[in-house]
């Protein structure tokens, strides 16, 4: 834009000088100057104006109210609205992250290339203590891939499968039970609209332990009941 202004003033001064020296050459230069202005100023402004009109029509406002001379004012309005939209989007993102941080589940978000986009505090705290993570918290979100910070093979394979999965998702969800360093997790993957994959970890270790305790208890009770019953049966038969 700065170069165009310089060319404009040089061409303008040259045209004025030539008009004084030679009227015919000056007129020709004036015509060329007019064509140059049309190409570099009028046409681009008209295109911008047309785009603003289309945007106004989309917003169901009158396109006739916008003239070429009102273009700057309309652009300022659009920029103001754009800034407001960005602020609103940032607030929504903050609320969404706050919601994710408040969940009891560990959450990891990766893009379609496997790069880490987000993780909540529960994810870092849980898997850092377990020794699953290789990198520190400061390095996890620094454009790292999931396989660069996770050392568990089963978990890496599941995330790889979820990220590369191109089949039909069952309600946009994949789920698998995975053993990670002695704990059992129900790991679910959800596909987002932007081809991003949410990985949610549900620790079901305690639930599985309770099921195992219940099974052993039932077996023990059954065994204890069978013994006196067998004795009673033998006594009756004799």
Q: List, for residues 75-96, the tens digit of each pLDDT value.
A: 777 788 888 888 988 888 888 8
Average pLDDT over residues 35-51: 66
User: Is residue 35 within 8 Å of 27, Cβ to Cβ?
Assistant: no
Band of residue 58 on the pLDDT scale cut at 50, 70, 90: very low
191 CB contacts (<8 Å, ≥6 apart)?
A: 169, 172, 173, 197
Helical segments of 103-198, H only: 121-130, 137-140, 146-149, 153-164
What local confidence, expressed as pLDDT, does residue 195 receive?
76
Q: Is residue 2 exposed (0-12), middle (13-18) or buried (19+ Cβ within 10 Å)?
A: exposed
pLDDT tens digits, 174-207: 888 888 888 889 999 988 767 789 999 998 888 7
Strand pairing class (106-110; 116-119): antiparallel
Q: Which of 20, 15, 7, 16 is nearest to 32 (CA)?
A: 15
CATH superfamily of 103-203: PAS domain (3.30.450.20)
What local confidence, expressed as pLDDT, does residue 156 receive?
92
pTM equals: 0.57
Could you tell me which residue, 191 or 43, shows the higher pLDDT?
A: 191
Q: Above 50 in pLDDT, residue 113?
A: yes
Q: Above 80 in pLDDT, residue 212?
A: no
Helical segments of the chain, H only: 2-21, 23-37, 43-58, 71-102, 121-130, 137-140, 146-149, 153-164, 205-237
User: Is residue 202 within 8 Å of 185, Cβ to Cβ?
Assistant: yes
User: Is residue 85 within 8 Å of 79, Cβ to Cβ?
Assistant: no
Q: Which of 187, 188, 167, 165 is nearest to 178 (CA)?
A: 187
For the chain, residues classed under CATH 3.30.450.20 are 103-203
Between the two ends of the chain, the Cα-to-Cα distance in Å is 113
């Amino acid at each position: 834009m700065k170069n165009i202004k310089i060319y404009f003033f040089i061409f303008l001064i040259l045209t004025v000088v030539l008009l004084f020296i030679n009227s015919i050459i000056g007129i020709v230069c004036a015509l060329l100057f007019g064509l140059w202005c049309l190409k570099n100023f009028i046409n681009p402004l008209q295109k911008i104006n047309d785009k603003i009109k289309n945007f106004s029509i989309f917003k169901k406002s009158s396109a006739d109210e916008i003239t070429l001379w009102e273009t700057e004012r309309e652009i300022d309005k659009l920029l103001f609205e754009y800034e407001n939209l960005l602020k609103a989007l940032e607030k929504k993102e903050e609320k969404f992250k706050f919601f994710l941080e408040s969940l009891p589940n560990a959450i990891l978000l990766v893009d379609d290339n496997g790069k880490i986009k987000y993780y909540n505090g529960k994810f870092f705290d849980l898997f850092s203590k377990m020794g699953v993570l290789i990198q520190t918290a400061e390095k996890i979100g620094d454009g790292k891939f999931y396989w660069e910070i996770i050392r568990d093979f089963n978990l890496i394979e599941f995330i790889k499968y979820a990220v590369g999965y191109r089949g039909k998702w069952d309600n946009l969800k994949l789920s698998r039970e995975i053993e990670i360093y002695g704990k059992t997790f129900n790991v679910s993957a959800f596909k987002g609209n932007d081809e991003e994959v949410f990985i949610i970890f549900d620790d079901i270790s305690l639930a599985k332990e309770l099921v195992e305790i219940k099974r052993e208890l039932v077996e023990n009770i059954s065994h204890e009941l069978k013994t006196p019953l067998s004795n009673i049966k033998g006594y009756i038969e004799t």
